[in-house]
Amino acid sequence: MALKTRNLDSWMESMALNLGRRPDTRFLLWLHGASVGETLSLLPIARALLRHRHTHVLITSGTVTALKRVQMEPLGDRVTLQ
């Protein structure tokens, strides 16, 4: 399979080859959006969940564009984007 360099990171991530370390937390809630619109619709949910101090949120998306857009949001250090 030929991969372009810019897509290599996302491919490795989808194969769970370069995953970061899981946050040391009691609760890690995973939210997934398949598209840009779905991923952006997760933001109010993520913010509501983060009101609980022991909660961390993992946001994943089916598109690189969605993750780039969510990176523009001030979500804090208890949110992991993947």
Which tens digits make up the pLDDT trace of 20-67?
666 666 778 999 999 999 999 999 999 999 998 888 999 988 888 998
pTM confidence score: 0.73
Burial of 79 per CB tally in 10 Å (0-12, 13-18, 19+): buried
Do the Cβ atoms of 34 and 59 come closer than 8 Å?
no
**82/80 Cα distance (integer angstroms):** 7
Strand 27-33: give its sheet, edge to edge: 27-33, 55-61, 79-81
DSSP 8-30: HHHHHHHTTSS--PPPS-SEEEE
